[in-house]
Amino acid sequence: MSLSAVLLAAGVSPSPTPSESPTVTVPTLKDAQESATNAAGWVEQNWSTWLAIGLRVVLVLVIAAVLRTVVLRAITKLIDRMARTGETPDGAALTGLLVNAERRRQRSQAIGSVLRSVASFVILGTAALMVLSTFEINLAPLLASAGVAGVAIGFGARNLVTDFLSGVFMILEDQYGVGDQIDAGVASGEVVEVGLRVTKLRGDNGEIWYVRNGEVKRIGNLSQGWATAGVDVTVKSSEDLDRVRATLDEVAEKMSKEEPWNELLWSAIEVLGLDSVLIDSMVVRVSARTMPGKSVAVERELRWRIKRAFDEAGVRIVGGATAVSLDEDLPDPTATVAAPSSFANADSPQSIAATPITAQRAAAPQPK
């Protein structure tokens, strides 16, 4: 029995010898026709599904593109309308003197940028999810991964998110704008630029402050509504109050009729009365409501006019609660000083006689 027969009986196929070459099967024309027929049949069975998927994807993309274009155009028109000065039925400007062109432009630009970004993200994100669902892709793992990644990014960039959200609400609520004088707690000055993350302020000395919106806990806007100009006039307690009031009323009436103070003053200048009465002086309070941000200029002009009017009326202004007029008879400070003594001269006989003996002996010349 040969080795091949033994291996066959054991169920093991013998390995081909080097002399034996494997047989290569060459596909015939009939086999090619059968393969083509099977492929054509498979395409014929699934072409309708492919066509439906393709049409659905194209329809989703077209609808998303058209919807995004329409929404962005509507947002642009809305922002352009916000940038223009609205007018009330009586023809007066709606924003008046509180909002200038640069403030409206930056505010509308920031709001438009936020709205366009949000609209594009929502529309395109929804379209992408619909396209993936058309291909029967399971979106649950993808959404879960996106949620985890969003949470991680939110924790890592929480300061940036806080600044961004604070800036959005500051702009939407119009808490301040370009040209406003604000006190943001960490810095104060005139608003130069309002951004979604940083607000730029110019301080009183010309410095530029970059304030992160997330760090602002309170905002004091000195340019909204109206401002108050208050001047304290300190006069001697012996002055006639009726003459002081008449002089102040004359200054107030004259200043209210002159330009440009008649536009900066939003109420009559009032003499509120005595703010405090001391032993040798009294303080008269003068107040007026002014245009926002113009209270300092009105106060300076009031002081200037009050000083000139008091000089003409003969009313003396003192420098403070403890100020004393120079024309009063003051006691001579040298009256209480004793007359110079002869002991003040160290070389006088009295001083030498009063010098201790030890000191005299030390000063005496030694004999040679």
The yes-or-no verdict on residue 322 having pLDDT over 70 is: no
Q: What confidence tens digit (pLDDT) does each residue in 57-90 have? A: 889 899 999 999 999 999 888 888 776 654 444 4
Q: Which pLDDT score is estimated for 367?
A: 54
Q: What confidence tens digit (pLDDT) does each residue in 172-190 have? A: 787 888 778 888 888 888 8
Q: Which pLDDT score is estimated for 22?
A: 54
Least confident of 85-99, 144-158, 189-203, 327-341: 85-99
Q: What confidence tens digit (pLDDT) does each residue in 201-228 have? A: 998 888 999 999 888 888 888 877 788 8
Q: Which pLDDT score is estimated for 95?
A: 41
Helix or strand run (H / E) with residue 211? strand 208-212
Q: How far apart are CA 43 and CA 31, in angstroms?
A: 18
Q: Which pLDDT score is estimated for 348?
A: 67
The yes-or-no verdict on residue 21 having pLDDT over 60 is: no
With residues binned 3-state (H G I as helix, E B as strand, rest as coil), the percentages for the chain, rounded to 5, are 50, 15, 35
Q: What confidence tens digit (pLDDT) does each residue in 231-259 have? A: 888 888 888 888 888 889 888 888 888 88
Helix or strand run (H / E) with residue 170? helix 158-172
Q: Give the model's confidence band at 6: pLDDT under 50 very low, under 70 low, under 90 confident, else very high.
A: very low
The yes-or-no verdict on residue 30 having pLDDT over 60 is: yes
The yes-or-no verdict on residue 342 having pLDDT over 70 is: no
How far is C-alpha 136 from the geometric centre of its chain's CA atoms? 48
Q: What confidence tens digit (pLDDT) does each residue in 114-130 have? A: 788 888 888 988 888 88
Rounded to whole angstroms, what are the CA distances from 247 to 102, 241, 252, 311, 351?
Answer: 43, 10, 9, 10, 65
Angle between helices 158-172 and 140-156 (to 10 degrees): 90
Helix or strand run (H / E) with residue 271? strand 270-277
Rounded to whole angstroms, what are the CA distances from 132 to 48, 120, 128?
Answer: 19, 18, 6
Q: How far apart are CA 346 and CA 109, in angstroms?
A: 88
Rounded to whole angstroms, what are the CA distances from 251 to 236, 241, 286, 301, 368?
Answer: 19, 15, 11, 11, 91
pTM of the model: 0.49
Contact 132, 139 (CB under 8 A): yes
- Percent of the chain topping pLDDT 70: 67
Q: Which pLDDT score is estimated for 176?
A: 83
Whole-number average pLDDT of the chain? 75
